[in-house]
Amino acid sequence: MWWENSFLRNKNGRLHLAGRPASAVAARHGTPLYVYGREAVQDKYRALGAAFGAAPAGSRLRICYAMKANALPAILKLLRREGAWVDAVSPGEVEAALEAGFPPDRILFTGTSVGVEDFRRLLAHPGLTINIDALEQLDLLAQARRRIRSRRPVRLSVRWNPGLGRGFNPKVVTAGRQTQDGTPIKFGVEDRLVLDAFRRASALGFETVGLHQHLGSGWVREDLPTVKAAVLKMLAKARELQRAGFFLEFLDFGGGFGPKYFPGQRLFPLRTYAAFLSRSLERSGLSIPYVLIEPGKYLVGEAGVLLLRVAYVKKSYGFRFACVNGGTFNSVPRPAIYLQATHAVLNCDRLEDGPRVRVTVAGNLCETGDVFGKNVLMAPPRTGDILAVLGAGAYCRSMASNFNLRPIPREILI
């Protein structure tokens, strides 16, 4: 089946999670329940390393896990042991990464609308690299440093907005002037101000170490040309900075690699991208010790499912609803937030059971948009069936709320 991997298997028509029947896991731990596969996360991490292999010529690769995708401590620890760095976007994430054993010098902080109070919290952890998102942040960082009377060096990089971005939905296109639906893009330092940001940072006594960009999220094959164009822009900008006398320890190309969410999806060609990055870096003549990437979704997306139990099946105006014991906002909010986001739903014990019917998998929240999937083809669901929502490893638990005062499901890593 298109979704099978080291975590998800179809054995005799029953979904197995890391070798155990999903319905047995549900019976043992209850539903709704997030289940993540240790091996699947490891596999993805290693596959990414292999894709980049010798790629960044003359540079070494650092994979910084974008922990906003899923901050389960056991997943953070697992990736730490694999050798990952962390990309954190709030002081809370930095503190969770430290708690999971990441030393500050393996944490890159990239925040937006970061104020003095946030910077004070960050400066408590010397060694951290702070990626600023606006020139205005530099003075606030300097203020925070004065307030705590710190003379310790501060490692600083600049997130720039290269003027072009790419993502599966306008809400997650994070570079460019404005999204397709007209939202001005708030992230990064505009092209013409990047050099000023480096000059100002070094005048304030910060150690300027890198340049960063992040174009957006959920890339597929069609995104490759834009992504390549952005690589070239980044290298040109790095050259300009080096000419102006700034040594760059790293270039950070951000995250964005999409996981597999649906059959027939044209996946982003990681190896082609990595080879292009390597060649371009080599041709640029730049000497950059480290190349960074910041995958979130790619590492954990396919490594998680949400298990739900069918409370009852209802028919209304010709539609068949499987009414389940969980709500999207509380567990898999992506389809409710991003209209294009889809998650496959399986009837765990009846993967190959006879004729299939179209089902709307409806959650238990007071909201019409609270559906895990529309027109999902599956064996006719019955009360008590266990359903699995796939692709629930990334941006699901981390974006879940207590809407309707429904609880957020428990999580297990197996």
Ligand X SMILES: Cc1ncc(COP(=O)(O)O)c(C=O)c1O
**Is the CB of 294 or the CB of 411 nearer to ligand X?**
294
Q: Is 66 in the site for ligand X (CB under 6 A)?
A: yes
Catalytic residue list:
366
Q: Is 296 in the site for ligand X (CB under 6 A)?
A: yes
Cα(24)–Cα(347) distance, integer angstroms: 13
Contacting ligand X (CB under 6 A), which of 256, 327, 333, 393?
256
Q: What is the 3-state secondary structure (H, E, C) of 73-102?
A: HHHHHHHHHHCCEEEECCHHHHHHHHHCCC
Q: Is 259 in the site for ligand X (CB under 6 A)?
A: no
Total of chain residues touching ligand X, rule CB under 6 A: 17
Q: Is 214 in the site for ligand X (CB under 6 A)?
A: yes
Spell out, one character per residue from 15 to 54, where the chain touches ligand X: x when CB under 6 A holds, - when not: ----------------------------------------
Q: Is 343 in the site for ligand X (CB under 6 A)?
A: no
The answer to whether residues 379 and 354 touch, using CB atoms and an 8 Å cutoff, is yes
> How is residue 140 annotated by DSSP?
H
- Binding range to ligand X, per CB under 6 A, among 91-99, 291-299, 333-341, 351-359: 291-299
Q: Which two tokens stand for residue 262?
A: 């649906």
Neighbours of 163 (CB within 10 A): 15
The amino acid at 382: R
Least distance from C-beta 356 to ligand X, angstroms?
32
Q: What is the 3-state secondary structure (H, E, C) of 332-398?
A: CCHHHHCCCCCCCEEECCCCCCCCCEEEEEECCCCCCCCEEEEEEEECCCCCCCEEEECCCCCCCHH
Least distance from C-beta 86 to ligand X, angstroms?
11
Q: In what order do the strands lie in the sheet with 20-21?
A: 8-11, 14-17, 20-21
Applying the rule CB under 6 A, the residues between 84 and 103 that interact with ligand X are: 87
Least distance from C-beta 295 to ligand X, angstroms?
5
N residues, the chain: 414
Q: Is 396 in the site for ligand X (CB under 6 A)?
A: no
Contacting ligand X (CB under 6 A), which of 70, 90, 110, 129?
110
Cα(247)–Cα(208) distance, integer angstroms: 8
- Binding range to ligand X, per CB under 6 A, among 148-156, 213-221, 228-236, 354-362: 213-221
**Is the CB of 7 or the CB of 253 nearer to ligand X?**
253
The answer to whether residues 34 and 411 touch, using CB atoms and an 8 Å cutoff, is yes
The answer to whether residues 259 and 302 touch, using CB atoms and an 8 Å cutoff, is yes
Q: Is 168 in the site for ligand X (CB under 6 A)?
A: no
- At a CB cut-off of 8 Å and minimum separation 6, what does 385 contact? 309, 310, 322, 347, 348, 349, 350
Contacting ligand X (CB under 6 A), which of 32, 162, 255, 326?
255
**Is the CB of 55 or the CB of 69 nearer to ligand X?**
69
The answer to whether residues 382 and 354 touch, using CB atoms and an 8 Å cutoff, is no
**Is the CB of 214 or the CB of 260 nearer to ligand X?**
214
Q: Which of these, 216, 237, 212, lies nearest to 226 by C-alpha position?
A: 216
**Is the CB of 145 or the CB of 214 nearer to ligand X?**
214
Q: Is 295 in the site for ligand X (CB under 6 A)?
A: yes
Q: Is 254 in the site for ligand X (CB under 6 A)?
A: yes
- Binding range to ligand X, per CB under 6 A, among 92-100, 118-126, 249-257, 319-327: 249-257
Q: Is 69 in the site for ligand X (CB under 6 A)?
A: yes
Cα(411)–Cα(259) distance, integer angstroms: 20
Q: Is 297 in the site for ligand X (CB under 6 A)?
A: yes
Cα(308)–Cα(318) distance, integer angstroms: 24
Least distance from C-beta 218 to ligand X, angstroms?
6
**Rule CB under 6 A: which residues touch ligand X?**
66, 69, 87, 110, 174, 214, 217-218, 254-257, 294-298
